[in-house]
Amino acid sequence: MGSKDHHHWQSNNVKQSGVDDMVLLSKITEDGIVENLRKRYNDDYIFTYIGPVLISVNPFKRCPYFTDREVEMYQGAAQYENPPHIYALSDNMFRNMLIDRENQCVIISGESGAGKTVAAKYIMSYISKVSGGGTKVQHVKDIILQSNPLLEAFGNAKTVRNNNSSRFGKYFEIQFSFGGEPNGGRISNFLLEKSRVVSQNSDERNFHIYYQMLEGASAEEREMFGITNPDYYSYLNQSETFTVEGTDDKKDFSETLGAMDVIGISPEVKQTVLQIVSGILHLGNINFVENGNYAAVETDDFLSFPAYLLGIDMEKLKEKLTSRKMDSKWGGRSETIDVTLNVEQATYTRDALAKALYSRLFDYLVEAINKAMRKNIEEYNVGVLDIYGFEIFQKNGFEQFCINFVNEKLQQIFIELTLKAEQDEYVQEGIKWSNIDYFNNKIVCDLIENKVNPPGVMSILDDVCATMHATGEGADSTLLQKLQAALGTHEHLNSWNQGFIVHHYAGKVSYDVSGFCERNRDVLFNDLVELMQSSEYHFIQGLFPENLQSDKKSRPTTASSKIKKQANNLVATLMKCTPHYIRCIKPNETKKARDWEDKRVRHQVEYLGLKENIRVRRAGFAYRRAFEKFLQRYAILTSETWPHWRGDNRQGIVHILRSVNMDSEQYQLGRSKVFIKAPESLFLLEEVRERKFDSFARTIQKAWRKFNAHKKYAEMREEASNILLNKKERRRNSINRNFVGDYLGLEERPELRQFLNKRERVEFADTVKKYDRRFKTTKRDLILTPKYIYMIGRDKVKKGPEKGVIKEVLKHKTEINNIVSVSLSQMQDDFFMLHEVEHDILLESVFKTEFLSQLCKRFKEIKNSQLALNFNNILDLKVKKEGWGGGGQRQVVFVHGSGDLAVLRPSGKALHVSIGQGLPKNSRPNRQSLMQNARHGQRAGHPMKRDDHNTSVVKYSTPKIHRSGQQSSNTLRGPVAAPSNYPQRAPMYAEPHCRLPCMELPQMPRQGNSKRNRPAPAQTNTDFMQVPEQGIAGMRRRDTVNKIPEPGQGRRKKAPPPTPTAMLCRALYAYEAQDTDEIGFSFGEVIQIIKEDPSGWWLGCVRGREGMFPGNYVEKI
């Protein structure tokens, strides 16, 4: 599995690089942590554990260990079994949801460019692959996966720190049924960076969708939407950066459109979405000039295209961009007046319209995804938080302030749940514990979001915005003064000449207050709402659903209050779930693989609190669970606790832990919870539990499969019997036998498989006798597949280094649709004749009914008609013409004789077959007796014994040779069916039905020789296989078993006392027991026969164990 390039990722022979889990570090220092991460990063190990927390270092390249092979490797595996991987965390999260019946979430944190978005993609991809199936489920999975490229196109952009930076936050909830099938989902989005639509810093880009559309639009779309080069658009040419290394915008545009199709966005709406995106670009090209202290549109030509694309009147657009209606109140009267805007105000209005259009379009796309995944009943869910990372730019504005605030809240969650809550729990439960100090960033969160005493930055900002009446620098200056007055003495806040500095958990950030108040107000004037509601496109009207007639007296909601509310709601949602953590680290600022900046990584290790995290994990306990839940999960481990423990919970838990021999130092019992120290101890419990469930599941599966197999094979026998019903006599011992299909064991026979097509299914395979034009027999392996019939023989190699070696040769291959008909006699013999266009093939097989049944099915599938079956006691055989000789006609004549053994008498061009009368032609298998035989005798999937009745003998003047080598007037013993599973050395053919003297071909091995007359190599192999029989331990065990009386638990009726001389037999093939009442043995092993049964399954004893075994696998000695 897998290429050699991936050998380091396998659990076996893993190349060691540092430590997988940093809890195992010898020295816990920032230098030691950084050095361990560096070693692993340079060896392409990007994942490392701190207990259950996953540390992920951005490799800035594609890694080879995210394939289906790794999905299979981590599915259901314990954490310690494989190297650290995001799939291990994903699997643990998914399984915990099903096992504990609790919602799960994963919090992915780290600075911008650390790899959070990619990590979220891998989690969703893994869960999609390992969860349940079905048409509806697959549709939900497709939406989950396709939502990524769509939201990235409209919500991600290139920044100086990250080529694919999320400029919005999202919490993606994948909703599951109780059975673990994803059947719904929901996305919550936070704070889209709208300002990026109208302005970008140097070396940055606008949102990806703009560049995708410019590169990927068709010629028709380019003309319709007015698409040209990116430097034409004011909203794109400010940074002079249009391309990103390693990004194919044209290809990404195609994926974005495909994602819209999957989500269910109609072609009409899709076109309108692109019109809006283009309209925003053209809107940005409208410039203003000063005309007597008022703003005027510089060139009216730039108004026509955005008006056309947005479906609005050009003159109205011009009016609303340069003027505004305002309500004026004088005393008890109010009136509306038109105010003409200056250039600064007009520019602000244009940009406000562009930002509103884009943000509302983005909200529509998120809602479209939610609508496509929505379900009525919420059962379980797994939440994936992928949010903008902590970031510091040269100029940090209002958006960076909000982004860093959300990251501050996420850090607080991590501290609360992994450092503070864990230590508090030990104290509450009475566990011995030494407190570990850490920095709690709650003081920074309070600095930003506090309402009063003292008010936080956001409260002061909202207060300033409530009193401002115009745009400009005045409000921002007021904000700075009020911050200094209220928070000037706070240790985590300082002032500077253009703004303020906040001491975040990740470091100091200087914020420029310029534009803070305007962006926080986030007001869209009614004039612009009214303008967009006048659009001729219903879709655009729907983006602006405000009721302008209502008299709103309440203060409009500010951007900071929205993000504060969203952040707190997010925290509340996360706290209701079982959290998992991924801490992403950015190794460099160059965005290049193998580039490692020690100082940068050390800084992240410090502010992420990894050292404190390691210390708490090292001193603490890996697992804790309430007594009731622990007993509920692990009660199955002992018979005393399963299904219910009726004593004290603490005693029951101690009993379970002692049953698996867990060291008492590895666990402690608190007041209400059990604490287990090492993960390995927990894995031990899980492993024992899995084995218990596996054992029970196998028992249930075995019984169910056995029942279904019996039912299936009974139906197959009935179908096959209908082919011969009222047309051919049946054999007494074959009418009720099981069908096996592959009697050659082709799964273990590559020398035969080589002639078949790759992955070609085998319907039937057996060794048969083929008769030539002189009625001489040769052995052939007959294989039937859905399209072909193969006949394989053996020949000696005549040339080359393998000269003289006997090898398999494909003697004949024909398509099933080339079979014209099949002929059989009306008697109980085993002959059948395949008629092709040019010649016929005469074969003999005890499994003819099974072969014909499968052949008829395949023939009907291919030709949509029934295969012609002829039943006559005189069959004409058309002989194949070979070279100068051959060809012509032969006859096979069937006559009634005596006995169940066919007697063959060749005479010139005819073969006379004499056989006694069989079961009547109207005989059918009895299903009830079949099911009973299957339980007590023949088993589905095991070869039927070819007994003495299924043989044919050729009458000659020369004496017949018995298998023992003695002359005998009796018939030869019947052949043994080739087993489905072969030992290391297996015979090339099954034992023959009969042997014609003087019919030995030079290229074939001698068939039917006595064992003692076989060549030396065969004898050597037999002796080798008999080695396990040496010694007396087996005999002693056998004697001991024979002395033990049989318990009365439904066993067979006690056998009569054995005769003084025990009957013995030797194994011709290895056999592996398939049921509890069977015995297995190796090739050449000696078995004591206790009882022979006509069904072919005998009762015997080997190595002191008594049970059933197939009689056709052995020969008596």
Q: Smallest Cα–Cα separation from 142: which of 321, 150, 1010? A: 150
Separation of alpha carbons 111 and 597, rounded Å: 15
CB atoms within 10 A of CB 1020: 10
Q: For the CA atoms of 1102, 1105, 1107, 1113, what is the dihedral angle to 10 degrees?
A: -20
Q: Is 392 exposed, middle or buried (0-12, 13-18, 19+ CB in 10 A)?
A: middle
**Structure-token match 């919602």, residue found:** 103
For tokens 């991924």, what's the residue? 582
Residue 163, burial from CB neighbour count under 10 angstroms (0-12, 13-18, 19+): middle
Spatial neighbors of 462 by CB under 8 A, at least 6 apart, are 520, 558, 560, 561
Torsion of CA 856, 858, 860, 861, to 10 degrees: 160
The catalytic residue among 173, 391, 408, 1085 is 391
Rg of the Cα trace of the chain? 41
The answer to whether residue 520 is catalytic is no
100: its two tokens: 């504990």
State the catalytic residue, choosing from 117, 189, 520, 853. Answer: 117
Active site residue 162: yes
First to last CA, the chain: 46
Q: Compute the distance between CA of residue 114 and CA of residue 389 in angstroms, rounded to an integer.
A: 8
List the catalytic residue out of 166, 256, 359, 914.
166
Distance, CA of 59 to CA of 112 (rounded, Å): 14
Cβ within 8 Å of residue 687, ≥6 positions away: 78
> DSSP alpha helices (H): ranges in 75-181?
86-100, 116-130, 135-155
In angstroms, rounded to a whole number, what is the distance separating the alpha carbons of residues 54 and 495? 37
Between CA 709 and CA 392 the distance in angstroms is 67
Angle at 872 between CA 893 and CA 765, to 5 degrees: 90
The reply to whether 561 belongs to the active site is: no
Q: Which residues contact 316 (CB under 8 A, 6 or more apart)?
A: 531, 534
Q: Other CB atoms closer than 10 Å to residue 904's CB: what's the count?
A: 23
The one catalytic residue in 18, 32, 51, 113 is 113
Instruction: Determine which one of 165, 278, 923, 1095 is catalytic.
Output: 165
CA 415 and chain centroid, separation:
33
Q: Which one, of 3, 57, 8, 45, lies nearest residue 597 by Cα?
A: 57
Contacts of 664 (CB under 8 A, 6+ apart): none
Of 389, 652, 793, 1111, the catalytic one is 389
- Catalytic-residue membership of 103: no
Q: For residue 952, which of 885, 897, 889, 1034 has the smallest C-alpha distance?
A: 897
Q: Is 109 a catalytic residue?
A: no
User: Which residue among the candidates 109, 112, 131, 407 is catalytic per the annotation?
Assistant: 112
E strands, 374-454, in order: 380-386
Torsion of the alpha carbons at 703, 706, 711 and 715, rounded to the nearest 10: 170
Q: What is the length of the chain?
A: 1117
Tell me, yes or no, if 800 is annotated catalytic.
no
CA–CA distance, 97 with 1016 (Å, rounded to integer): 64
Cα–Cα distance, 205 to 197 (Å, whole number): 9
Distance of CA 331 to the CA centre of its chain: 71
Question: φ and ψ at 23, to 5 degrees?
Answer: -65, -25
Count of C-beta atoms within a 10 Å radius of residue 590: 9
Which residues form the catalytic set? 112-113, 117, 162, 165-166, 389, 391
